[in-house]
Structure 1
């Protein structure tokens, strides 16, 4: 990796006992994960999990007491900044990737925000993806009882089902359907299958290191979300935690004004930041139709928007994938339509009444 290339960061999350460390142990034996720094989070007074990670101590950084979503967040930023500094000053010869393994109790959003929104780190790191593990034996009960587990699934780019070899009597079809309704855009993989390795789990971000281009289809997976939406429009038939989550795609055939898309994002961020779990998309802008805009946000934090040098394929539609919690799909669609110039009777009045936000300045597009 060239020194100036942003370092890809992968967040490995999953509820307690879901097999994160076992998966990490296996992945670290892959030659493609050479020169990877692994940050292992600990919860409690005594660190245990890091002893199970079969990696030399030089490659594993253990974060002390606390979980990544609370007391240790500042330490995470400091650790990432130190890694970047070591690379830039030559104290580390190569650093191809960073993997952050969170505690099972962690809300992954603050971890993603630390990578995407820190003013110094944002130029040196790029979020590659979120991998969430689910224990096939206990996943349904975990999702029923713990909202954190539901959120871990909802924001994932890849979901790995573990212990399927021990779950012969478990309702795996029902579990897969439930996961598909929660996050249809994330491929569901079986940890027992040989192909669930580096190629399936990593390099799932926007940037494709092999082709040196933006792989929008792999990143957005908006077609999978649209297909699932057709079959599972509003999943009210599942547990109440699940029913709070919605995943959908905003599609617009025309071009969008740069200021309009900025106002749309600022409106959601200022009024509903905690409800927008994740948003990522590619937008065709009217000021330069040949160079689309890429947006990526986690709750209230958005990565600085970037203009691609060109459209990566022949699909030039604006496509924005949105994952929300306790925020209606129709409201988001109406709000986007108002700013994108999509006609609808009294839409603007309804949007104004439902949001009533205080718009705050955001990134310039």
Structure 2
């Protein structure tokens, strides 16, 4: 299956610089960049140093429900167009969203469109946040907070121009298990940005994830125990001590997604299923859509407890724990918040 990397980030955060760097790598031959523009005339494609054969450009609108059909059709026709033109086989796709885009609809399309599910897989979400304006951007723009919340990797750009610590503090509460990395002028290694969704390293950090459910009135505060985003988006990490029955756990997921899907920005889980405890189940969800669960061949470490991470908007931690306890028939004391 063809891996798809979603590259997102707020206006001016360095997405195009990063994309230029990536597409210049010889090892990314066969990669197609899909750039989504906001406005009547596409401009960003003039800044992307890549041949026309490797570029698909979507004009008129951000990547959202109104443009998703265009994106789906582009992905469906991609291989056929390349083959008809005698171009190399498509080996990877990078979708760069506009700075005002919500990346969730892109992920939804890849997770539910049958034609896309058969040919493409989500390789990861990379979000750029710049060190110069990042704190204010995250504080003032919900789009930026959501882009950071769904990320597998957050690249902090322009760290040569401003200290990165305040931005890192703001990001810690938005997505505690996303890897954060400093980058200058788009210089990253391919191994840093590829293969993100395949890893379970985030699960090993779930115990260390701290729930930030209160806001600091000072947007320039660098204190790690305060969030910088008006507390509308928070992260919760849970550890479940006992194995769970898959039927019960799945019913809870379906119930919770139906009840709170719009505010369930992202869910990651490494689940110990009672029916097959030797092979953990990996779950990924974005709002009301969940990717088909995937079995690992073995546990990534000696820790075989279920680890769950929720990035949510206006959902209380107690509601998640209470409903999970009820549906999965677990004792409340067996569901431990990683912040406890």
Shorter-chain TM band:
0.7 to 0.9
| Structure 1 partner of 2:194 | 202
Q: Give the structure 2 partner of residue 259 of structure 1.
A: 247
CA distance, structure 2, for counterparts of residue 140 and residue 310 of structure 1: 40
1:15 aligns with 2:16: no
- Confirm or deny: 8 A CA contact 2:6 2:124 kept in the other structure: yes
Taking the aligned partners of 1:164 and 1:39, their CA distance within structure 2 comes to 27
Matched, 1:283 2:262: no
1:106-185 mapped onto 2 (5 Å cutoff): 106-167=101-162, 172-185=164-177
Any conservation in 2 of the 1:246–1:329 contact (CA below 8 Å)?
no
Ranges of 4+ aligned residues in structure 1 off by more than 4 Å: 84-93
Matched position secondary structure for 2:62: coil
> Aligned pair in 2 of structure 1 residues 268, 30: CA closer, same or farther (>3 Å)?
same
Contact 1:226 1:248 in 2 (8 A): no
Counterpart Cα distance in 1 of 2:186 and 2:54: 25
How many equivalent residue pairs?
325
Cα deviation digits, residues 145-178 of structure 1 (max 9, x gap): 21101111111111112222233xxx63222211
Residue 91 to residue 264, structure 1, CA distance change in 2 (3 Å): farther
Structure 1, 243-252 or 141-150: larger mean CA deviation: 243-252
Secondary structure of the structure 1 residue equivalent to 2:325: helix
Aligned equivalent of 1:331, options 297, 319, 322: 319
Q: Normalising to structure 1: TM-score of the pair?
A: 0.82
Q: 1:224 aligns with which of 192, 198, 205?
A: 205
**Bigger mean CA offset, 51-60 vs 110-119:** 110-119
1:92–1:262 distance in 2 versus 1, CA, 3 Å: farther
Where 2:99 maps in the other structure, the secondary structure is: coil
Q: How has the CA–CA distance of structure 1 residues 29 and 258 changed in structure 2, closer, same or farther, with 3 Å as cutoff?
A: same
Distance of 2:247 and 2:263 partners within structure 1: 23
- In the TM superposition, what is the alpha-carbon distance from 1:143 to its structure 2 partner? 1.5
Where does residue 51 of structure 1 map in the other structure?
46
How much has 1:40 moved relative to structure 2?
Answer: 0.5
Cα distance, 1:342 vs. partner? 2.1
Residue deviations 1:98-154, cap 9 Å, x none?
Answer: 100000010111111111121221122111111111122211221222110111111
In 2, Cα distance between equivalents of 1:311 and 1:89 = 44
Residues in 2 aligned to 1:226 and 1:246: alpha-carbon distance in whole angstroms: 16
1:234 pairs with 2:238: no
TM-score by length of 2: 0.88
Out of 328-337 and 106-115, give the one that drifted further: 328-337
Whole-Å separation in 2 of the counterparts to 1:274 and 1:281: 19
1:31 positional shift: 2.1
1:30 aligns with 2:25: yes
Q: 3-state SS of the aligned residue for 1:336?
A: helix
Could you tell me how far 1:313 is from its partner in structure 2?
Answer: 4.1
**Other-structure match for 2:338:** none
Contact 1:84 1:124 in 2 (8 A): no
Match of 2:183 in 1: 191
How big is the shift at 1:183?
1.6
When the two chains are superposed, the root-mean-square deviation of aligned CA atoms in Å is: 2.4
Deviation at 1:225, TM superposition (A): 4.1
